[in-house]
Amino acid sequence: MGCGVSKSDQFHKSSSKAIRSAILIQRWYRQYVARTEMRRRYTWHIFQSIEYSGEQAQIKLYNFLGYLMDNFTPASNERNLISHIFRENDVCRDAEWERYFCYKNIEVPEIYSGPHLTFPLTVEQAVGLVEAFRNKKQLHSRYVLQLLLETWKQLRMLPNINRISTCQSKEITICGDLHGQLEDLLLIFYKNDMPSLENPYLFNGDFVDRGKDSIEILIILFSFLLVYPSEVYLNRGNHEDHIINLRYGFTKEVLTKYKMHGKRILKLLQKIFSWLPLATVIDQKVLVLHGGISDTTDLAVLARVNRHHYVSALRPPKKRHQSSASLSIDLDMDEDIWSPNKMFLRRKSFTFLKTVPRDSFQNRSLQDFSDRIKVDEVEICRRKPSISNPATGALENEAATSVSSESISSQSGIDEWKQILDLLWSDPMNQDGCVPNEVRGGGCYWGPDVTEDFLNRHNMQLIIRSHECKQEGYEFCHNRKVLTLFSASNYYDVGSNRGAYVKLGPDLVPYLVQYQASSMIRELTVRQSVGRTERSALKVLREQVFAHKSDLICAFKTFDSNNTGLVCLNDWASAVESVMHLGLPWRMLRYQLVPCKTNGGMIDYHEWFNELAIKGPSADHIDQSLLETLYRHRSTLETIFRIVDTDNSGFITIQDFRQTWKLLSVYLKMEITDDTISDLVVTIDRNQDGSIDIDEFMEAFRLTDKKSRLERGRSMFMGTATDLTKLEGDPNI
Amino acid sequence: MTEKKQSAEAMEPDVHKKIKAAFKAFDYESNNKVDVREIGTVIYSLGCFPTQADLHDIIAGVEEDHTGYITLDKFLPAMTKVLLEHKFPPIPEDLLLQAFEVLDKEKKGYLEPEELTKHMTQEGELFTQEEMEEMLTALADHEDNFVYYKDLISQLTIDPDM
């Protein structure tokens, strides 16, 4: 047999075998690459959905609180708890401000080893600050306050829209979102040198929140702004906003790092944020702003607004002169109260009983908004108005509320507000047109036709914006007329994305530079880092799903009328989306989320929850479904606590604690009796001293999954106390 | 045979949803169109293992002449057929192992990068240089750069859907 086979036959045979093998391997590998690409896409989608739904939730909460503010009696306790976040600061004159923030009384102790600053600031000091922060030093609060005061003075002189030009060979470097990630800023300075007369920079907003070194980033940026006022430019981002900071970590970071003076620092920052310029135009041809545009964006209007009136972009500034008409209430609370359209419309026209006379309105209490709440008789009595004279009641009421309630009387006021909101919150979309951005809850989605029209109208050629995380650190869209730039690498997780900055010379052709912080990344292959990020996203998603267990089981039951405990894949996917509202490709995620074997193509949903193997939050004598609801809304809960904690001590009184629950229960349309609250208090106030440690309370609601606690690093998705590295807080700072 | 056909029909709505979901991931303008250059990824991600030649055939059957796009209308029925008929089933692990062993003439248990590159870029449905670089980055061991195929196969093979 052997000699019958010629050499050439043998050669062909083995060769064709090799070819077939090669084809097989190529097939297999290409399939693998495609699957990985799909996984990468939906992993991204998961992180982004959860991130944006968090932003939406914050806006929702803020609008809810604003709504309560508009409708509570002046004397009510709830109002006092939350009014301070609506209180605008322009009642103080500048001189008063300087006194309030006087740093001169603050002594720097001998033992302090951080940098010392003298003003006017020099380049060496600015560079020194970068070095100090690289070495994990903290700047003393005296210097922080001094720096902030100087920054405020500087910012006040700037126009709403910076106008700069690239002359001769000066290239300007533009950076996107940094989100408190100092490592990325240091990396940028390393690759691109620090700002100088020959090296101008523009930072496009979102310097703070989520990352753990937001204040250090601000200090660095402000220092360079003071040292090189003509070479360093800052645009405001949607996170330069104290309301957003309450939820996303900046407030907490400052209060933790600066235990004694943190509150003052935050107050001063509120003012500074409002004075940040809104946009920058380069060579009259390139527009740089944080979010984007809408079909009504008008640079002429934006150039004229009083930008510092918008302390928070989520709320238009109050007017001193009052609007007349009674504030009636839109009872349609659960649908769309957060939607941007309703946000403007709400001010103009409400639909509640127009015949309600003003003074009976004063009797409105929480109970009227949500008739499912059982409120003590005592509570209702407490809410009787303290204004005795009904004749002047209305006027007094107005005067009393003028400080903190808001009323937009003019259409132009609303238009102005919309301009700023759009600028800070909008995202581009691929379809033509312009629609409200309901995913985030603010701004709009704008299409290529809007870009085209805008650029033509203003005779420009390019829009550079940030606001959205991109895998490669940047992304062009709208026929390369819009460039998204994001400078926080590894934003969602280690290995999730690169950061980028852009260099723009006189030719105005963007030159992009990418980077990725953390040396660990470079050693991971692309596939490995996709896998890692994917695992992280799925873990987050599993927790979210678990937090909605009761609602999910209800939803499954609607598809399972025979109570078999099984649902088919289609129904599973529909049910999950109807509860979670994340718009994710659930079918694709099914294998990752539901590891148990299918029962003939059906999913056993009870077994699924058992397998998720996450122990529920502890506290056995509390109703499980209540705990679950609280767990789901823990970020909101913590935000409300931080609002209620007016002296920022980290503690709230039992009384305020009860009031918080009332607030939350109305917001969630949830019944919660006084007994239930008492039970919670007993659980939490361990030392029975009448005050509750916020962090300790939030701790009770963490899921007790050991593994996830260890791996949990970023505060973004959890928003609970222990995620930020707790600095013990040097008392000397 | 009838049973199989019946169950296949019953699975159709399921299959449709799967195909639509994968298609949507690349439908950037939400107009039910996907770039023809990305449709391969869609097909692969649905659990199929076609050769390049197979892919070309499918695409030829559904492409909108010369627009460079493929619409959902045409893609859905074609892809449904592919899935219900299990046209491009996954490659069994042992077959894959044999394929690697054929290339590993010296039976070392691993392939050197040059060896693998030669085969992948000169035989069969040739890899581009980019694809080759990516493959090596993904599969080669960090330290010695060899491709230990036995370990890889078990790590990288996925469960068949359905």
- Do A29 and A281 form a contact (C-beta atoms < 8 A)? no
CB-CB under 8 Å, B45 with A38: yes
Alpha-carbon distance B120 to A34, whole Å? 18
Longest dimension (CA), chain B: 55
CB-CB under 8 Å, A588 with B22: yes
CB-CB under 8 Å, B102 with A17: yes
> Mean pLDDT over residues B36-58, rounded?
89
B37/A713: higher pLDDT: B37
Tell me the residue type at A477: C
To probe the interface with A, which of B105, B125, B136, B151 has the most A CB atoms within 10 Å? B125
> Mean pLDDT over residues A706-725, rounded?
33
Closest approach of chain A CAs to the CA of B148, in angstroms?
14
Average pLDDT over all residues of chain A:
75
Whether the ipTM is more than 0.90: the answer is no
Cα-based distances in Å from A518 to A488, A494, A496, A710, B114: 12, 8, 12, 19, 31
Measured between alpha carbons, how far apart are the two ends of chain B, in Å?
18
Other C-beta atoms lying within 10 Å of the C-beta of residue A414:
17
CA angle A692, A697, A700 (to 5 degrees): 150
Highest mean pLDDT (candidates A119-133, A325-339, A524-538, B116-130) = A119-133
Minimal Cβ distance to B25: which of A18, A35, A585: A585
> Mean pLDDT over residues A202-218, rounded?
96
Alpha-carbon distance A90 to B125, whole Å? 71
Alpha-carbon distance A284 to A431, whole Å? 27
H or E stretch covering A264: helix A262-275
Minimal Cβ distance to A525: which of B119, B138, B159: B138
Highest mean pLDDT (candidates A279-293, A524-538, A570-584, A704-718) = A279-293
> Mean pLDDT over residues A184-196, rounded?
96
Residue in chain B closest to A531 (alpha carbons) equals: B156
Residues of chain B with C-beta less than 8 angstroms from the C-beta of A41: 25
H or E stretch covering A379: helix A377-382
Closest approach of chain B CAs to the CA of A31, in angstroms?
5
Backbone φ and ψ of B103, nearest 5°? -75, -30
Parallel, antiparallel, or unpaired for β A232-234 and A201-203? parallel
Closest by CA position to A425, among listed A247, A295, A289 = A289
Query: Encoding tokens for residue B83?
Result: 């899935």
Q: Which residue has the tokens 């740089």?
A: A288
> Mean pLDDT over residues A187-215, rounded?
95
- For A567, the 3-state DSSP assignment is strand
| Residue-by-residue DSSP string for A442-510 | SSEEE-HHHHHHHHHHHT--EEEE-SS--TTSEEEETTTTEEEEB--TT-SSTTS--EEEEEE-TT---
To probe the interface with A, which of B29, B37, B48, B128 has the most A CB atoms within 10 Å? B29
Tallying the residues shown for chain B, one arrives at 162
Closest by CA position to A537, among listed A566, A577, A497, A568 = A497
**DSSP 8-state secondary structure symbol assigned to residue B143:** T
Minimal Cβ distance to B119: which of A18, A31, A573: A18
Highest mean pLDDT (candidates A340-344, A356-360, A470-474, A579-583) = A470-474
Handedness of CA A111, A112, A115, A121 (dihedral sign): negative
- Do A71 and A405 form a contact (C-beta atoms < 8 A)? no
> Mean pLDDT over residues A647-655, rounded?
76
* Chain A touched by B127 (CB under 8 Å): yes
CA angle A394, A395, A401 (to 5 degrees): 90
* Chain A touched by B92 (CB under 8 Å): no
Least confident of A598-602, A648-652, A714-718, B154-158: A714-718
Active site residues per annotation of A: 239
Other C-beta atoms lying within 10 Å of the C-beta of residue A195:
26
pLDDT at A719: 33
- Do A500 and A511 form a contact (C-beta atoms < 8 A)? no
Alpha-carbon distance A274 to A286, whole Å? 23
- Tell me the pLDDT band of A312, cut-offs 50, 70 and 90: confident
pTM comes to 0.75
Closest approach of chain A CAs to the CA of B135, in angstroms?
8
Chain A interface, Cβ < 8 Å to B: 17-35, 37-38, 41-42, 430-431, 523, 525-527, 568-570, 573, 585, 587-588, 591
pLDDT at A410: 64
Query: Encoding tokens for residue A23?
Result: 């084809």
Flag whether pLDDT at A326 surpasses 60.
no
CB-CB under 8 Å, B98 with A35: no
**Could you check whether the bond before residue A120 is cis, i.e. omega within 30 degrees of 0?**
yes
Residue in chain A closest to B13 (alpha carbons) equals: A570
Highest mean pLDDT (candidates A335-344, A418-427, A705-714) = A418-427
Minimal Cβ distance to A26: which of B48, B127, B158: B127
Query: Encoding tokens for residue A468?
Result: 């959205």
Highest mean pLDDT (candidates A231-235, A378-382, A568-572, A669-673) = A231-235
Alpha-carbon distance B52 to B36, whole Å? 14
- Do B14 and B50 form a contact (C-beta atoms < 8 A)? no
Other C-beta atoms lying within 10 Å of the C-beta of residue A238:
25
Closest by CA position to B74, among listed B41, B38, B34, B15 = B34
Handedness of CA A690, A700, A582, A710 (dihedral sign): positive
To probe the interface with B, which of A11, A13, A16, A32 has the most B CB atoms within 10 Å? A32
Backbone φ and ψ of B69, nearest 5°? -120, 155
| Exposed/middle/buried for residue A700 (C-beta within 10 Å: 0-12, 13-18, 19+) | middle
Closest by CA position to A570, among listed A547, A550, A598, A551 = A598
Flag whether pLDDT at A713 surpasses 90.
no
Alpha-carbon distance B70 to A314, whole Å? 43
**DSSP 8-state secondary structure symbol assigned to residue A566:** E
Alpha-carbon distance A291 to A177, whole Å? 11
pLDDT at A722: 33
| Residue-by-residue DSSP string for A67-99 | HHHHHS-TT-HHHHHHHTTT--STTS-HHHHHH
* Chain A touched by B97 (CB under 8 Å): no
Closest by CA position to A144, among listed A210, A252, A236, A223 = A223
